[in-house]
């Protein structure tokens, strides 16, 4: 076959091939913005869409012989979604406490400390939703090298109001939600490596090159997310995200200038060849002089946009000629803030106290969710609401409460509240701390028990954003594990003493002895 | 102690006349303690002992001593040669008894259901479904015996063949070494390739295995070593091939099930490292572009032709290449599953991928393997349980062992010519035996030493039992003395 003939023959087949490849589309984006406190927030997002696909339903997922063919979509993940018939799934692994007051709202809502997993799954399969939830947990634990297997029944709840499905809103009757969070999960390199393997270009080309573990895990806050959702117009979407808050002020305290090289210690050398779009969006400072290098290909609404595919090697940097002045003013966008603490020093009871502040001129409605493991039991009758020391129980609008079952089920406590304008609402509730069985204590060094973050949603705002309160630490009564034999011997001595005395009294013989005079 | 006598002239009451000071009462109390203690012993024994059900060890041992025998009947068209062929075959069986182990070959003249037929044909040697044409003459009988040996007990590299499993997962991966270096193969029409080249194999082997297929494309698959640079392109030495698969960087299959995975990789070298050759032991490039990793899978290196590169830097695998690659994958799959090739000089009648001869040889081989392995596993379980006294043996383990033995028994009971049934029973026996062997319940109390138990029991029991014993001894002594002194 001569080359010309081959070319002709090729062009005949090319349209067909392109058609088949269009089934999967990969886009990547990096958003960077400078925060008022001098830090830099970056959000990587890698989106793969299986065009025209519909989520696996329990009815059609059963066939094992069904072949799975993927090119850009990660196979390891695709198989898991298929095996457990997951319609929508969100996994986040975060480290640190997101500071809403200084950093504003994150680009991705899920910033709760530790691991959080929630999934919507269709009902009606051979295996129940709970069986598949267990399978999903374990499969993801294996995939991400995270201890998601501990997101067991003790932590699983179903708070449908807070975690509404994306495209399924009319199908909630046939689908069920499972949610669990594990605040004590530590996120590190071993989780990032499998994360990168799910990307078509790994960390070898394109925007993902910047994901340098040495810098990411050194950041003030970092978190990764995996979001699988179904977009009826497009298909099944897998979005992998990574958010960090890095601090350019740490090495040199006077300048908030940043560049890829300084923030990530890497620059983009090559673009990812299979990405349909590959963009870097930098939020430009407002009202102060700055220089940005290189020149962006597009500036749109205060955002500089760089196209990685066209630009070649890229190291974006932002420079402020004027020095940095730390500003203590809060961000205007976060008009609602939360402080949640656990009070009381004893190991058997305490008080949960939540301060909710509304800085707006109008009252706001807030939904508040606690998903406590059973080790903390809430006393609902002690729930009080106060504004400036005045009891305001009328502000409570709705309570959903599923009490815990010791050793088996978590608490679900969800209320709807109204916070009056420009005021701080104080919510308090008494709690008891459980006494654990010997085997329920973790085998590692004891630092207390992490309690999952509370979640708040503003009901009147659009879009509804979830706000995570920081995780809490609770100290439960802990036995001294170092001396079990001493304890056994002491207990046994006591029992033997009691037994001996009782036995002695029961079998003693009394006699009268004449005293010799 | 002298028997006590109440002082006669005292105002105090005699304590022994009080009802609770009566001798019989005291003895009853002591006896009650002992009754409770003795009655509690079985409960204590029951709650602290490890459940160790007895395993049918004599059955296991007798099963292990048994040898599965499968008959092979050959019907010869030419009656005059029957005896001669039988002699030749018997001679071969004596020469290599290991190869023929477990097979009973009889040559006869009449055709029976399930036997192999050999028909005369002067021109061709063709194997079809349990039928062979051969030039039947007195002088060709040794050659016929050789051909039959090749068909009935084909030689195979047993290290290459994957372990038997009722279901395999086939993971196909198209690996671009470095897509960012330019010229990328970004897809393949794998559904068509599989239905063209592999589905016939799946159908032919459906009695033995089921297959699950998955595929993916990777765009960055770096090698863990740097290949040798040649004057043109790069080369992989035989040592390189052993470490070719970079399992740290390449995620080659999903892990949703525990079925064994066979991997099939198409490796497209980076644009800067083309063409990539496989070198022979002298370091010279060879024309081969594929190799097999025993029990793991097959790898094909695809160097895109230079003129294709001009087309587009991003293109799917061209259909011609896809055909060559997948027909090669088909051969590799057959090799990994232990399907033997026809002996030299024997043609396939083109009715299917496999002749009945090949399939039967594979079925026999797998049945022998499974039965032997199941028996061996069962023996190991019995040995292990006997060796470790703290190992619990629950009802499920015993059930699995018994079911596995039953399945092994059924192999012998199954209709003698039904190879499929024999294989099913042997596979069943193996699955049950391995399930029993890996039962997690058997590990539960493995590390609970006796010293630990005594350390827990001693402080309580020693201090409680000693006063009980002492009183009992004293009372018995008193009672015996009373009897002796009684008139």
Least Cα distance to A268 among A247, A294, A248, A292 occurs for A294
β-sheet bridge partners, residue A340: A354
Report pLDDT for A368. 95
Report yes or no: B251 at the A interface, CB cutoff 8 Å.
yes
Interface contact flag, A71 B216, Cβ < 8 Å: yes
Cα dihedral value A357, A363, A364, A368, nearest 10: 60
- Answer yes or no: is the ipTM higher than 0.95: no
Minimal Cα distance from B317: which residue of A?
A17
Report pLDDT for A141. 93
Q: Are A292 and A258 in contact (CB under 8 A)?
A: no
CA distance B228 to chain A (A): 23
d(CA B182, CA A204): 14
Neighbours of A514 (CB within 10 A): 11
Report pLDDT for A10. 38
Top-confidence residue, A429 or B77 = A429
Q: Are B260 and B212 in contact (CB under 8 A)?
A: no
Long-range contacts formed by B5-10: CB under 8 A, 24+ apart: B6/A511, B6/A512, B7/A512, B7/A513, B7/A514, B10/A512, B10/A514
DSSP single-letter state for residue A268: B
User: For residue B222, which residues of chain A lie inside 8 Å, CB to CB?
Assistant: 204
d(CA A178, CA A131): 11
Continuous H helices in B12-130 = 23-48, 57-65, 82-95
3-state secondary structure at position A49: strand
Q: Which two tokens stand for residue A157?
A: 């709840």
% of chain A residues with pLDDT over 70: 91
Q: At what angle do helices A484-507 and B450-485 cross, to 10 degrees?
A: 10
Q: Are B115 and B158 in contact (CB under 8 A)?
A: no
DSSP single-letter state for residue B276: E
Interface contact flag, A271 B10, Cβ < 8 Å: no
Interface contact flag, B456 A71, Cβ < 8 Å: no
Interface contact flag, A205 B179, Cβ < 8 Å: yes
Interface contact flag, B189 A509, Cβ < 8 Å: no
Q: Which two tokens stand for residue A36?
A: 């008022």
User: For residue B178, which residues of chain A lie inside 8 Å, CB to CB?
Assistant: 204
Disruptive mutation site among B254, B454, B471 for chain A (greatest number of A CBs within 10 Å): B254
User: For residue B187, which residues of chain A lie inside 8 Å, CB to CB?
Assistant: 17, 20-21, 71
Structure confidence at residue A124 as a pLDDT band (50, 70, 90): confident
Of B30, B256, B455, the CB nearest to A80: B256
DSSP, residue by residue, B61-78: HHHHH----EEEEEEES-
E-assigned strands of A189-307? Answer: 221-231, 235-246, 258-259, 277-283, 291-293, 298-300, 303-307
Report pLDDT for A118. 95
User: For residue A72, which residues of chain B lie inside 8 Å, CB to CB?
Assistant: 217
Minimal Cα distance from A505: which residue of B?
B26
Minimal Cα distance from B6: which residue of A?
A512
User: For residue B319, which residues of chain A lie inside 8 Å, CB to CB?
Assistant: 13
Go through the domains of chain A in sequence order and give each one's CATH number.
Answer: 21-319 (no CATH), 336-474 (2.60.40.740)
A219: left (phi over 0), alpha (psi -120 to 50) or beta: beta
Least Cα distance to B189 among B325, B328, B333, B318 occurs for B318
User: For residue B21, which residues of chain A lie inside 8 Å, CB to CB?
Assistant: 509-510
User: For residue A6, which residues of chain B lie inside 8 Å, CB to CB?
Assistant: 307-308
CA distance A15 to chain B (A): 10
CA triple A413-A416-A417, angle to 5 deg? 120
d(CA A454, CA A370): 5
User: For residue B5, which residues of chain A lie inside 8 Å, CB to CB?
Assistant: none
Structure confidence at residue A17 as a pLDDT band (50, 70, 90): very low
At a CB cut-off of 8 Å and minimum separation 6, what does A22 contact? A51
Interface contact flag, B463 A500, Cβ < 8 Å: yes
Report yes or no: B286 at the A interface, CB cutoff 8 Å.
no
pTM of the predicted model as reported, rounded to 2 decimal places: 0.85
Residuewise pLDDT in 10s, chain B (487 residues): 455 667 777 777 777 777 777 888 888 888 999 999 999 999 988 887 778 888 999 999 998 888 888 888 888 888 888 888 999 999 998 988 888 888 888 888 876 666 788 888 888 888 888 888 888 888 888 888 989 998 888 888 888 999 999 999 999 999 999 988 888 898 999 999 999 999 999 999 998 999 999 999 999 999 999 999 998 889 999 999 999 999 888 888 777 788 899 999 999 999 888 899 999 999 899 999 999 999 999 999 999 988 777 777 888 899 999 999 999 999 999 999 999 888 888 887 766 678 888 899 999 999 999 999 999 999 999 999 999 887 888 899 999 999 999 999 988 876 666 888 889 999 999 999 999 999 988 876 656 677 777 777 777 778 788 888 988 898 899 889 989 987 6
Give Cα B318 to chain centroid, integer Å: 39
Interface contact flag, A75 B14, Cβ < 8 Å: no
User: For residue B454, which residues of chain A lie inside 8 Å, CB to CB?
Assistant: none
d(CA A396, CA A379): 16
Interface contact flag, B456 A488, Cβ < 8 Å: yes
Average pLDDT, chain A: 86
d(CA B173, CA B355): 30
Disruptive mutation site among A82, A512, A513, A515 for chain B (greatest number of B CBs within 10 Å): A512
Minimal Cα distance from B34: which residue of A?
A503
CA distance B308 to chain A (A): 8
Top-confidence residue, A315 or A485 = A315
Interface contact flag, B217 A70, Cβ < 8 Å: yes
Q: Are A239 and B258 in contact (CB under 8 A)?
A: no
Q: Which of residues 311-350 of B touch A (CB under 8 A)?
A: 311-316, 318-319
Structure confidence at residue A20 as a pLDDT band (50, 70, 90): very low
d(CA A465, CA A442): 34
Minimal Cα distance from B464: which residue of A?
A496
d(CA A320, CA A422): 35
Disruptive mutation site among B28, B174, B180, B321 for chain A (greatest number of A CBs within 10 Å): B180
Cis peptide before A322 (omega within 30 of 0): no
CA distance A272 to chain B (A): 6
Minimal Cα distance from B251: which residue of A?
A197
Interface contact flag, B215 A201, Cβ < 8 Å: no
Cα dihedral value A48, A49, A54, A58, nearest 10: 0
β-sheet bridge partners, residue A244: A42, A222
Interface contact flag, B219 A75, Cβ < 8 Å: no
Structure confidence at residue A63 as a pLDDT band (50, 70, 90): low
Interface contact flag, B257 A83, Cβ < 8 Å: yes
Given a cut of 70, is residue A415 above it in pLDDT? yes
d(CA A120, CA B351): 50
CA distance B3 to chain A (A): 11
Of A65, A489, A512, the CB nearest to B15: A512
Of A75, A509, A512, the CB nearest to B6: A512
Neighbours of B121 (CB within 10 A): 14
Top-confidence residue, B310 or A358 = A358
CA distance A302 to chain B (A): 32
Report pLDDT for B446. 57
Report pLDDT for A19. 36
Of A69, A74, A492, the CB nearest to B459: A492
Interface contact flag, A273 B180, Cβ < 8 Å: yes
- Number of Cβ pairs closer than 8 Å across A and B? 170
Given a cut of 60, is residue A238 above it in pLDDT? yes
Interface contact flag, B255 A489, Cβ < 8 Å: no
Report yes or no: B206 at the A interface, CB cutoff 8 Å.
no
User: For residue A510, which residues of chain B lie inside 8 Å, CB to CB?
Assistant: 15, 18, 21
Minimal Cα distance from B308: which residue of A?
A7
Structure confidence at residue A463 as a pLDDT band (50, 70, 90): confident
User: For residue B196, which residues of chain A lie inside 8 Å, CB to CB?
Assistant: none
**CA atoms lying within 13 Å on the CB side of residue B336:** 27
Report pLDDT for A419. 93
Mean pLDDT of A438-444: 81
Of B6, B210, B254, the CB nearest to A75: B254
């Amino acid at each position: 076959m001569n080359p010309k003939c081959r070319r002709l023959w090729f062009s005949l087949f090319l349209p067909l091939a392109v058609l088949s490849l269009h089934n999967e589309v990969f886009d990547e984006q990096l958003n960077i913005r400078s925060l008022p406190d001098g830090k830099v927030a970056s959000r990587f997002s890698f989106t793969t869409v299986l065009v025209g696909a519909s989520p696996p339903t329990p009815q059609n997922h059963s066939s094992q012989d069904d072949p799975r063919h993927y090119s850009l979509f990660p196979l390891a993940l695709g198989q898991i979604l298929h095996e457990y018939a997951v319609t929508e799934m969100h996994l986040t692994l975060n480290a640190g406490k997101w500071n809403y007051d200084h950093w504003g709202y994150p680009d991705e809502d899920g910033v709760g400390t530790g691991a959080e997993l929630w999934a919507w799954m269709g009902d009606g399969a051979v295996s129940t939703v709970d069986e598949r939830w267990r399978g999903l947990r374990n499969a993801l634990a294996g995939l991400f090298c995270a201890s998601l297997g501990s997101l067991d029944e003790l932590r699983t709840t179903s708070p449908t109001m807070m975690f509404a499905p994306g495209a399924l809103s009319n199908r909630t009757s046939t689908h069920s939600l499972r949610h669990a969070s594990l605040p004590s999960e530590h996120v590190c390199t071993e989780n990032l490596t499998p994360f990168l393997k799910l990307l078509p270009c790994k960390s070898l080309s394109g925007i993902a090159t910047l994901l340098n573990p040495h810098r990411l895990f050194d950041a003030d806050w970092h978190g990764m997310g995996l979001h699988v959702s179904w977009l009826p117009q497009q298909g099944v979407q897998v979005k992998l995200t990574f958010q960090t808050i890095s601090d350019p002020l740490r090495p040199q305290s006077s300048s908030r200038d940043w560049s890829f090289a300084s923030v990530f210690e890497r620059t983009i050398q090559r673009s990812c060849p299979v990405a349909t779009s590959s963009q870097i969006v930098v939020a430009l400072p407002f009202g102060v002089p700055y220089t940005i290098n290189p020149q962006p290909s597009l500036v749109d609404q205060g955002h500089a946009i760089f196209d990685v595919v066209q630009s070649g090697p890229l190291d974006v940097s932002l420079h402020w000629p004027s020095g940095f002045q730390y500003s203590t003013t809060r961000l205007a966008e976060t008009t609602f803030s939360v402080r949640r603490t656990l009070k009381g020093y004893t190991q058997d009871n305490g008080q949960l106290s939540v301060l909710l502040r509304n800085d707006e001129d109008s009252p706001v409605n807030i939904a508040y969710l606690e998903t406590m493991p059973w080790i903390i039991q809430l006393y609902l009758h002690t729930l009080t609401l106060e504004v400036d020391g005045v009891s305001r129980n009328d502000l409570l609008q709705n309570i959903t409460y599923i009490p815990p079952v010791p050793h088996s089920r978590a608490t679900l406590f969800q209320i709807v509240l109204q916070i009056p304008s420009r005021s701080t609402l104080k919510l308090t509730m008494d709690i008891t701390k459980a006494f654990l069985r010997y085997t329920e204590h973790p085998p590692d060094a004891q630092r207390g028990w992490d309690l999952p973050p509370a979640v708040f949603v503003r009901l009147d705002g659009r879009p509804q954003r979830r706000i995570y309160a920081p995780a809490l630490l609770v100290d439960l009564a802990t036995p001294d594990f170092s001396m079990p034999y001493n304890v056994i011997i002491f207990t046994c001595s006591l029992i033997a003493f009691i037994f001996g005395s009782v036995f002695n009294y029961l079998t003693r013989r009394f006699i009268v002895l004449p005293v010799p005079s | 102690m002298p028997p006590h006598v109440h002082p006669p002239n005292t105002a105090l009451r005699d304590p022994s006349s009080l009802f609770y000071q009566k001798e019989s009462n005291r003895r009853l109390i002591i006896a009650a303690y002992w009754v409770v203690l003795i009655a509690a012993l079985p409960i204590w024994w029951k709650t602290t002992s490890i459940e160790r059900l007895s395993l049918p060890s004599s059955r296991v041992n007798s099963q292990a001593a048994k040898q599965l025998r499968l008959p092979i009947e050959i019907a010869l068209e030419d009656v005059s040669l029957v005896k001669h062929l039988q002699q030749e075959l018997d001679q071969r069986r004596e020469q290599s008894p290991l190869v023929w182990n477990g097979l009973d070959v009889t040559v006869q003249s009449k055709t029976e259901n399930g036997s192999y037929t050999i028909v005369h044909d002067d021109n061709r040697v063709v194997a079809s479904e349990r039928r062979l044409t051969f030039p039947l003459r007195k002088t060709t009988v040794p050659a016929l015996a050789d051909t039959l040996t090749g068909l009935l007990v084909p030689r195979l590299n047993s290290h290459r063949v994957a372990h038997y499993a009722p279901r395999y997962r086939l993971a196909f991966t198209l690996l671009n070494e470095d897509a960012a270096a330019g010229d990328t193969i970004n897809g393949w029409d794998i559904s068509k390739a599989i239905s063209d080249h592999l589905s016939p194999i799946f159908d032919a082997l459906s009695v033995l295995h089921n297959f699950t297929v998955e595929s993916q494309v990777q765009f960055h698959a770096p090698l863990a070593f740097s290949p040798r640079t040649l004057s043109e392109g790069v080369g992989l030495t035989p040592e390189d091939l052993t470490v070719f698969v970079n399992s740290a960087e390449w995620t080659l299959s999903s892990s949703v099930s525990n079925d064994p995975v066979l991997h099939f990789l198409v490796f497209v070298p980076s644009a800067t490292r083309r063409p990539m050759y496989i070198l022979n032991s002298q370091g010279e490039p060879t024309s081969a572009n594929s190799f097999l990793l025993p029990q793991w899978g097959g790898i094909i290196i695809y160097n895109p032709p230079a003129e294709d590169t001009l087309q587009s830097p991003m293109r799917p695998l061209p259909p011609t290449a896809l055909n060559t690659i997948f027909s090669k994958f088909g051969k590799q799959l057959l090799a990994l599953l232990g399907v033997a090739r026809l002996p030299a000089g024997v043609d396939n009648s083109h009715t299917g991928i496999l002749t009945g001869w090949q399939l039967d040889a594979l079925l026999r081989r797998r049945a022998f393997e499974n039965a032997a392995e199941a028996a061996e596993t069962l023996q190991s379980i019995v040995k292990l349980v006997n060796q470790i006294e703290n190992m619990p043996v629950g009802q499920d383990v015993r059930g699995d062992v018994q079911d596995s033995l039953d399945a092994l028994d059924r192999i012998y009971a199954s209709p003698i010519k039904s190879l499929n049934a024999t294989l099913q029973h042997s596979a069943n026996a193996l699955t049950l035996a391995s399930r029993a062997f890996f039962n997690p319940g058997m590990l539960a109390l493995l590390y609970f030493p006796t010293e630990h138990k005594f350390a827990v029991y001693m402080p309580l029991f020693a201090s409680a039992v000693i006063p009980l014993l002492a009183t009992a001894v004293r009372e018995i002594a008193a009672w015996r003395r009373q009897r002796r002194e009684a008139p």
